[in-house]
Structure 1
Amino acid sequence: MKLPLFILRVAYTLARRFKIADATRLLHLEAADFLAPTLPDGYTLRSPGAGELFELIQAGKAPAEIGSPRNVSSQRRVVVVTTPENDVVSYLWIAIESVDANENFSRARHLGTSVHLPPRAGFLFNAWTHPDQRGKRFIGCMMSYIIENQLVDTDTLVTTMDWTNEKSSRAFAHVGMKPIGTVIRLGRGPLQLSLLPRAASQFGLKLACQAPGYKFAF
């Protein structure tokens, strides 16, 4: 690793720890260019409704961090889970139309980035895989399940991830997602600065509309 990049990463890690900075990569993929991985034997994919998701959480079969069953909507957002039997070992949410800032952040909730999506675009967020199950490309498999089963009306996929999250970056690159810029959010309270990738507008994305303070495209 080149020294300047190493110093930049250390500085960002410290700033993120003090919750004064949030830098996320913005990735984009046309569904037609998706490179579908193969689901390992012994695992199944499904999209639980609100009632089933509630039962999974109550039974301890899914972590509480998966999110509220109230968030499940056949019109605006759905969740896909991976299970070897009935225990959820990986999950992924997709939303259309928009995602609020408090749902899309790295470490500092107040520095989250809201995303308004163009028609037929879906935003992937709140993805998780159990540490003992990582490396099996479940996220890509769940993306494939979304596309093949047309769970939402979308032919374009978008996501963000922390700038330093190399493992997730490689996982999404494996299925064909490409970076189109970096979103940088700085500050506290109303004193915030947003540096937004100019390329986002080319894909019809509107970023950080909910953020206070100053905003610049670069």
Structure 2
Amino acid sequence: MPYKFEIRRNDYLKRDTFGFCHQFYFGYKVPGNPDFLNTLKNTFNEELYNNLLIARDEVVKILMKDIPIILEKTGFLESLIVCVPRAKALSYYSPTQLMFLEAVKIAANCIPGVADGTDYIKRMVNTKTTHIKRQMSIPNDGPEPYPGITKDTCKIYRDKIKGKNIILIDDIYTKDVNVDEDCIQALFDSGAQEVVFYAVGHTIKNILSINNDFIKARLRTGEEVIFYPVCSKNT
């Protein structure tokens, strides 16, 4: 079951919008955390292929459940599924480092009412990978996120985006990183009619309270955020 939350306008995003997430991301190896998302990142390109397949199939299963609910709640009769590109140029990654994208593509081709737009934003120039710590011994060249970085470093197929309702998908949403906000704005600037954001995991510090109508959580910044459970009419 997805949760709905607000994404507020800022220097990267010119309008308020909303997003959905499947679950909360507390931190790698924290109990209850969706560590399969870290597996799919495959940052060091050392993950066993069988583990990658298991993680990929878990994401496909989640998307197959959540995306139809989002379509129902948004009223989108047709929509295009687009994936937030990874930080480095597409050519930088091996196929085993692009299996989250593969999972989204599989789901997009199986869910009625959506079309596969996972190839419509491609990173062409390296940017800083925000989850890599400085002490990690792997290259991490490129600029930090800044307003307009998506348009500056990606090839966007504007003719495919224009006039479409978009569901923009990422693996993990972390407020104040602003990669996702910038990508949403790039889609609007490319003529998208509407953009709804979805992440499998939403980074939080801890849950403050739970009731039937909403969940209150605290982010790592200290900000409190409200998440609203979204159920299908058929459940």
| Fold shared by both chains (TM-score > 0.5) | no
The TM-score with structure 1 as length reference comes to: 0.31
